[in-house]
């Protein structure tokens, strides 16, 4: 880092030097199975109704500072006061708010996360200069309870811990009782249970309104058909929600997003449920297609994603490249710790899956 007083670069946060920009180039590939979105399109009548909402927007006016109407809908869904609901510009923003709010303890604040998991937990913590304790998952991608307990308890106790359930990118659904035990035994740590993909495993949500005050429920509309809106949220203890609202920029979610999300979640909830149900059913089809590959190792699948391992990084990367040639994007995880030889494939529509099956057959016949 520069020490020259005429060089503005000396003011850059030292932690940024080692970080990379999270960037995914836009793509128009016909089958985009690399971003864990909901692939099913909204019905035309829903799109027409949403267009009507956009037409009526007062573009010259600020949105509501905190999205009260949408928070009310989410509060009702979660059986709690809407004051406990905090909206973010995607749950990525909620992650940043939580880390900012819960990093003011007497010692350097420490984040504990299993590894591998969603990359933005560690990235956002490192931007802020927090210490990140990454606890490797067991080889079967389950939580390592003893190692998690050791990490959570070390050096006066961790400030915060994120647990994605189901997890991205391993698609695992970690043991409920173990997680509840950790939350009960470490009341001095804030636990964020990230249920971004929970809609694809009906009944799996751990959320209940009477959870202890160190429990935060986090979710997003991105994975259930509304990724373009950038709306994520959390339900937190009222005192923590107040702290988050001090960190949150006013007007952080656009009126377009607030209004479209509200309409989709209320008037068109049935259409959304049908899209999620179709994708959940197609996860089985995706697994069946991948099972036909003799060298593919599959792991228990949850959410709208499937993790598949091949015998070598070269084989996995070659397959990813060949699928891209056929218009199908999948995620290469071969450089992620513990995931050598692995690809992550998001569930697609019927058409995506037919394209995938045909491409895999063609690749096999050329080999």
Ligand X SMILES: Cc1ncc(COP(=O)(O)O)c(C=O)c1O
Backbone torsions φ then ψ of 150, nearest 5 degrees? -65, -45
| Minimum separation from the CB atom of position 24 to ligand X (A) | 10
Non-local (6+) Cβ contacts of 49 within 8 A are 263, 267, 268
Binding pattern for the stretch 220-239 against ligand X, x by CB under 6 A and - elsewhere: x-x---------x-------
Could you give the angle at the alpha carbon of 151 between the alpha carbons of 14 and 341, nearest 5°? 75
Q: Quick one: which of 196, 226, 229, 353 contacts ligand X (CB under 6 A)?
A: 196
Each residue of 226-236: b (16+ CB within 10 Å) or e?
Answer: bbebbbbbbbb
Q: Determine, following the binding rule CB under 6 A, whether residue 92 of this chain makes contact with ligand X.
A: yes
Binding pattern for the stretch 336-365 against ligand X, x by CB under 6 A and - elsewhere: ------------------------------
Q: Quick one: which of 66, 168, 255, 349 contacts ligand X (CB under 6 A)?
A: 168
* Ramachandran class of 155: left when φ > 0, alpha when ψ lies in -120 to 50, beta otherwise: left
Indicate the helix (H) or strand (E) that contains 160: strand 160-164
In contact, 103 and 156? CB cutoff 8 Å: no
- Nearest residue relative to ligand X (C-beta): 90
Find the part of the chain contacting ligand X (CB under 6 A) among 84-92, 249-257, 314-322, 332-340: 84-92
User: The sheet that has 297-298: what strands, in order across it?
Assistant: 297-298, 305-309, 342-346, 331-332
Find the part of the chain contacting ligand X (CB under 6 A) among 85-93, 97-105, 184-192, 284-292: 85-93
Task: Tell me, by CB under 6 A, how many residues bind ligand X.
Answer: 12
Q: Determine, following the binding rule CB under 6 A, whether residue 100 of this chain makes contact with ligand X.
A: no
Q: Quick one: which of 39, 67, 90, 116 contacts ligand X (CB under 6 A)?
A: 90
Q: Within 10 Å of residue 63's Cβ, how many Cβ atoms?
A: 18
| Minimum separation from the CB atom of position 89 to ligand X (A) | 8
Q: Quick one: which of 46, 113, 118, 308 contacts ligand X (CB under 6 A)?
A: 118
Q: Determine, following the binding rule CB under 6 A, whether residue 170 of this chain makes contact with ligand X.
A: no
Report residue 185 as tokens.
């035994």
Closest to ligand X by CB, 224 or 286? 224
Report residue 83 as tokens.
């004051």
Closest to ligand X by CB, 71 or 360? 71
Backbone torsions φ then ψ of 322, nearest 5 degrees? -70, -35
Q: Determine, following the binding rule CB under 6 A, whether residue 301 of this chain makes contact with ligand X.
A: no
Q: Determine, following the binding rule CB under 6 A, whether residue 194 of this chain makes contact with ligand X.
A: yes
Closest to ligand X by CB, 265 or 360? 265
Closest to ligand X by CB, 90 or 114? 90
State which of positions 20-39 bind ligand X (CB under 6 A): 36
Q: Write out the DSSP string of 209-263.
A: TT--TTEEEEEESGGGTTGGG-EEEEE--HHHHHHHHHHSPTT-S-HHHHHHHHH
Q: Which residues contact ligand X (rule: CB under 6 A)?
A: 36, 90-92, 118, 164, 168, 194, 196, 220, 222, 232
């Amino acid at each position: 880092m520069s020490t020259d007083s005429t060089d503005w670069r000396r003011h850059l946060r030292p932690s940024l030097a080692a970080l990379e920009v999270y960037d995914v180039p836009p793509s128009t590939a016909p089958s985009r199975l690399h971003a864990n979105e909901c692939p099913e399109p909204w019905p035309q009548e829903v799109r027409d109704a949403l267009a009507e909402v956009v037409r009526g927007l007062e573009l010259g006016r600020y949105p509501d500072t905190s999205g009260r109407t949408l928070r009310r809908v989410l509060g009702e869904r979660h059986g709690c006061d809407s004051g406990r609901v905090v909206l973010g510009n995607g749950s990525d923003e909620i992650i940043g708010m939580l880390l900012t709010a819960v990093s003011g303890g007497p010692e350097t604040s420490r984040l504990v996360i299993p590894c591998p998991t969603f990359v933005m937990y560690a990235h956002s913590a490192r931007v802020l200069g927090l210490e990140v304790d990454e606890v490797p998952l067991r080889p079967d991608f389950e939580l390592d309870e003893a190692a998690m307990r050791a990490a959570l308890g070390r050096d006066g106790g961790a400030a915060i811990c994120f647990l994605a359930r189901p997890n991205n990118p391993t698609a695992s659904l970690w043991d409920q009782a173990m997680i509840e035990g950790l939350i009960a035994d470490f009341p001095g740590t804030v636990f964020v249970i990230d249920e971004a993909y929970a809609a694809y495993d009906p009944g799996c949500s751990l959320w209940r309104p009477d959870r202890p005050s160190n429990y935060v429920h986090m979710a997003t509309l991105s994975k259930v058909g509304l990724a373009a809106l950038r709306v994520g949220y959390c339900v937190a203890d009222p005192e923590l929600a107040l702290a988050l609202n001090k960190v949150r920029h006013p007007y952080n979610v656009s009126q377009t997003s607030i209004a479209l999300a509200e309409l989709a979640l209320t008037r068109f909830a049935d259409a959304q449920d049908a899209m999620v149900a179709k994708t959940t059913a197609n996860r089985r089809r995706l697994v069946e297609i991948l099972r036909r590959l003799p060298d593919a190792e599959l792991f228990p699948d949850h959410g709208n994603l499937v993790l598949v391992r091949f015998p070598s990084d070269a084989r996995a990367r070659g397959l990813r490249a060949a699928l891209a040639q056929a218009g199908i994007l999948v995620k290469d995880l071969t450089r992620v710790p513990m995931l050598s030889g692995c690809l992550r494939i998001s569930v697609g529509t019927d058409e995506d899956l037919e394209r995938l099956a045909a491409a895999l057959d063609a690749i096999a016949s050329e080999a």
